[in-house]
Every structure is written in C-alpha cells, then in structure tokens.
Amino acid sequence: MSLDPLLTQARLLDAADPLAPLRARFALPRDAQGEPLTYLCGHSLGLAPLDARRLIEEELDDWANLGVEGHHRARRPWIGYAELLQDGLAQLAGARRDEVVAMNSLTVNLHLMMASFYRPQGKRIAIVVEEGAFSSDRHAVVSQIQWHGLDPAQALTELAPPRGQDLIDESQLTELLAARGDEVALVLWPGVQYRTGQAFDLGRITAAAHRAGAHCGFDLAHGMGNLPLALHDDGADFAVWCGYKYLNGGPGALAGAFVHDRHARSTLPRLAGWWGHDPASRFRMEPGFVPAPGAGGWQVSNPPILSATPLLASLQLFAEAGLPGLQAKSRALTAFLEAALRERYAQALEVVTPGRPEARGCQLSLRVRAGREKGRKVIASLEAQGIVADWREPDIVRVAPVPLYNRFEDAARLVAGLDVALAAP
Ligand SMILES: *Cc1c(COP(=O)(O)O)cnc(C)c1O
C-alpha cells in the first residue's frame, strides 16, 4: 500500500497551518546523520525553545557581573522572577493572576497542597483517586494519609474503570460521591490520565466533590499546556503541574500550582517558608508568618532562576501562538492522526484514548493488540526509524502530536513507520 497520499495530504495541511512557523523556534532532536527525528514525545519531555539558551546566558551573565546585586538589578530581577511567569501560567490555567504560582516540582507541590486541603476529621477521612494513578501521586497520597496517623486501607478510595474497560466515566465518580460523600475529605483527579490520554470534565468533578462537602484538587501534569483549562470557573480548590511536559520548561523544570481565589486568605494550616510571606514585609524577617494573599502564599523558598528561565521562553511562544489557535490545531492534528490509524491499523492497534475531542488532549494511546512482546518490537522499530514515541506497560504505545512544534507530516511519518513496524515478524 502506498502511503504517499497521506503524506501529500499532510503537507497540504502544514502549508495551510498558520502556526507552522513556530516549529522553527524549537530545537529538534536529531539522529546520527543530523536528520531531525520525528518527535512525538512532548507528553513526557517537551522540546527546548531556542530562546531558552539566550535567556539562560543572560542570567549567567547577570550573576557573573552583578553577584548578589542581581536580585534587584538583573535585567529580570531575581526577586520578582516567579511573578514574570504568572500571566502566562494564569492564561493556560484559565485562572486569575494571583491564583497561580510557579514553584518547586509537581510532587512537592502536591504535598504542599494536601497539607492544606487534606484535613481528615471524624469519619470524613477518605481521599478519592483513580486506580492506576501515576505512581508518584499514589505515594504522595498514601504518605499523607499515614502522616495523619491513618490507615491507607481505610482512607484511600481508588476508583477503577468498569471491568475490562480502560476509561472511567465521570458518572462513576459522581455516583460514589453521592453515595459515600460524607466520608470523603479530598478528591484528587488527573486532568488527563497519563496512560490512556483520557481527559475529564473538571467542572463536573469539582461540583460533585463540593456537593459532597469535600475539597477537590487536580493533577495537571498532562493537562497544562495541553487542554483548554478554566480552573477558576470550574471552581477547583487547587491544582498542580510540572514544567517539563507540555510546558517545555526543560528536564526537572520549575513546576506550579493553582489555588482558587476563595482560599486567597485561607487560614488552613500550611507548610510555610519565607517566600510565601507577604512580600511587603518579607524582608523584615520577623517571626510571625503573614501569608501573601493568593497562591503565592504557598511558596516556601526563593525560586531557582536557572530552572525557571526556559519556562519564560516557552510561555512567550504560547502567547505568540494564542490559545484558541493552538487548541484548534491540536484537535485537527490529533483527529488527522487518529483517522489514519483507525483506517489502516484497526486490526493491529486499538486507540484507547477517547474519540470525543472534549475527552482528550493531543495524546493518543495505542494498544498493540498482539500484546507486550509485539508491542516492544513495534516501539523498537519506530525508534530505529527515527520516530520518538514511548511505551507504557503492558501494551501501550503513547504518541502526542504537540501543536506548538509538530506537523501533520509528523503524523503521516508515524503512520508510515507503523506500516514497517507492524509488518515486521
Ligand atoms: C509526570 C508526572 C509526575 C512527575 O512528578 P515530578 O514530581 O515532576 O517528578 C507526577 N504525576 C503525574 C500524573 C505525572 O504525569
């Protein structure tokens, strides 16, 4: 079967894509011959914005030339560095400026948020999560339960998809909350499930949690920079995310958190540090802790400038692209890939990710129907062909055409690569 028609169609779509020039603003990983790889792994590590190098060099220069003075006199004074990221993050989160903060790493932020928003009392002790949650999230949740002297066997409620299925319907969660809501202290849910790529209706989940009298928080590791988000209007109590997946902040980049306005002056206990102190009096260094209003009041330490800098470069590209345009391209690109996969490989691959555009971001999770052994060969073959995807046990290939830097041609190349990979013995 000739795949040329698909490639031709893809190139026409790329030629008509107003966001296509953004690809040239990223460094593309290359093979040994210097040819760019077909990179479809932005769900794991986003590509490097070319501007990141210049911006980091500027910080290194300011440090070299100014030393401690750089806190105030650097071209981007370090003392207010986290605030430089706020507008861009607020846009992506669908939040007000003071509802977001760039800080720490994802799991650390999850702990900080649970320190405030998981307050088990009486019979209301449960944290509801999805079964099969990302390992780090589960470790964090279990250890928080134990931290309160409680037994995870009693306080952890894990919700699984119906038997034999991959996807959870939000109504399973709303039914659980309607039936047993008075036992639930916190619902912690992903924006996008990392293995299946399923996206959830955050407003519906929040409303159900609040009706039950529970707090509701979201892990947006795979949501920020990928889904259209409206955290403020959806009413989430908190959310956390990392900086290195769709946010392209670089390995281990500065992460972030959202805390809803209604908690801006919260008196809930928190794990405090000087950077969360009201900036107006932070440097008086007095013993009493006066939290800054808003999400910034959950900061602990002064931010790592060198890990925050690439995020600035990336958020600038999001701003240039504009979120509605990115969203439209994302849907078109993922639908293009999905249609080609369904048409050609329905026998060999199951698209696990929901087909409805509201129920997914850009990621597609593909089950290799022949099982694990064949699946490992498929991913190895793709790699040998210069196509970067990844593998989740036991049988899932994950790919993400990212609208900031991927082309329709990349989707066509994956389809051609799968032709070779699936045909091999
Ligand atoms: C990527 C990811 C993490 C990673 O946690 P770090 O604290 O950034 O190391 C955690 N949870 C989920 C759901 C993720 O997708």
pLDDT in tens, 138-183: 999 999 999 999 999 999 999 999 999 999 999 999 999 999 999 9
Rounded distance from Cα 404 to ligand 1 centre (Å): 21
Among 248, 246, 236, which residue's Cα sits nearest to residue 207? 236
Q: How far is the CA of 136 from the centre of ligand 1 (A)?
A: 6
Q: Does domain 60-319 have CATH number 1.10.645.10?
A: no
pLDDT at 3 over 80: no
| Residue 113 pLDDT class (50, 70, 90 cuts) | very high
Q: Does residue 111's CB lie within 6 angstroms of at least one atom of ligand 1?
A: no
The DSSP bridge pattern shows strands 100-102 and 364-368 to be: unpaired
φ, ψ for residue 164, nearest 5 deg: 80, 0
Q: For atom 1 of ligand 1, which residue has the closest CA?
A: 221
Say yes or no: do domains 3-36+322-423 and 60-319 share a fold: no
pLDDT value at residue 424: 83
Q: Give me the pLDDT at residue 2, please.
A: 54
**CA atoms of 220 and 240, how far apart (whole Å):** 6
248 HSE (CA, 13 A, CB side): 26
Q: Residue 338: its pLDDT value, please?
A: 98
Q: Is the CB of 14 under 6 A from ligand 1?
A: no
1 has a pLDDT exceeding 70 = no
Average pLDDT over residues 113-124: 98
d(CA 420, CA 368): 14
Q: Which amino acid is at 235?
A: G
Atom of ligand 1 nearest to the CA of 242: 8
Question: Contacts from 159-166 at CB under 8 Å and sequence distance 24+?
Answer: 159/128, 159/129, 159/130, 159/131, 160/130, 160/131, 160/132, 161/131, 166/196, 166/198, 166/352
Q: Could you tell me if the CB of 395 is within 6 A of ligand 1?
A: no
Query: Position 171: which residue type?
Result: S
Ligand 1 pocket check for 238: Cβ under 6 Å: no
How much is the mean pLDDT over the chain?
Answer: 97
What average pLDDT does the segment 175-196 reach? Answer: 97
| Residue 54 pLDDT > 60 | yes
Q: What are phi and psi of 344, to 5 degrees?
A: -95, -35
Which phi and psi (to 5°) does residue 227 adopt? -95, 155
Distance separating alpha carbons of residues 404 and 42, to the nearest angstrom: 10
Measured in Å, residue 188 CA sits from the centre of ligand 1 at 14
CB count within 10 Å of CB 423 equals: 9
Does position 15 have pLDDT exceeding 90, yes or no? yes
User: Whose Cα sits closest to atom 8 in ligand 1?
Assistant: 106
Which SS3 state, helix, strand or coil, does residue 118 take? Answer: coil
Single-letter residue type at 233? D
How far, in whole angstroms, is CA 337 from its chain's centroid? 21
pLDDT at 108: 98
Cα–Cα distances in Å, from 389 out to 132, 190, 394?
A: 21, 22, 15
Residue 187: which pLDDT band, with cuts at 50, 70 and 90? very high
Report the distance separating Cα 62 and Cα 204, nearest Å.
47
Cα end-to-end distance, the chain, whole Å: 18
Verdict on whether the full-model pTM lies above 0.95: yes
Task: Delimit the domains of the chain by residue range.
Answer: 3-36+322-423, 60-319
Fold of 3-36+322-423: Aspartate Aminotransferase, domain 1 (3.90.1150)
- Our answer on whether the CB atom of 242 is closer than 6 Å to any ligand 1 atom is yes
Say what the pLDDT of residue 377 is: 96
**String of b and e for 103-126 (b: at least 16 CB within 10 Å)?**
bbbbbbbbbbbbbbbbebeeebbb
Residue whose CB lies within 8 A of the most ligand 1 atoms, among 44, 105, 143, 242, for a mutation test = 242
Ligand 1 pocket check: which of 107, 226, 240 to mutate, most ligand atoms within 8 Å of Cβ?
Answer: 107
Give 193 Cα–ligand 1 centroid separation in angstroms: 11
Secondary structure element (H or E) that encloses residue 181, with its range: none
For the segment 232-237, the average pLDDT, to the nearest whole number, is 98
Query: What backbone torsions phi and psi does residue 196 show, to the nearest 5 degrees?
Result: -95, -20
- Please say whether the beta carbons of 172 and 159 come within 8 A: yes
**Could you tell me if the CB of 110 is within 6 A of ligand 1?**
no
pLDDT of residue 425: 80
The span from the CA of 168 to the CA of 199, in Å, is 10
Q: Is the CB of 219 under 6 A from ligand 1?
A: yes
Reported as type and span, the H/E element at residue 155 is helix 152-155
Q: Is the CB of 221 under 6 A from ligand 1?
A: yes
Token pair 């949650």 is found at 133
> CA-to-CA distance for 41 and 383, rounded, in angstroms?
12
Atom nearest to 106 CA in ligand 1: 7
Q: Using an 8 Å Cβ cutoff, are 317 and 311 in contact?
A: no
Q: What percent of the chain has pLDDT over 70?
A: 99
The alpha carbon of residue 173 and the mean position of all alpha carbons in its chain are separated, in whole angstroms, by: 21
Name the residue type at position 36: P
For ligand 1, atom 4: residue with the closest CA: 106
Atom 13 in ligand 1: residue holding the nearest Cα: 134
For ligand 1, say whether the CB of 222 is within 6 Å of any of its atoms. Answer: yes
208-229: pLDDT as tens digits: 999 999 999 999 999 999 999 9
Could you identify the residue written with the tokens 């109504």? 171
Preceding amide of 394 cis, omega within 30: yes
Pocket test for ligand 1, best of 139, 189, 194, 195 (most atoms within 8 A of CB): 194
Residue 4: per-residue pLDDT: 82
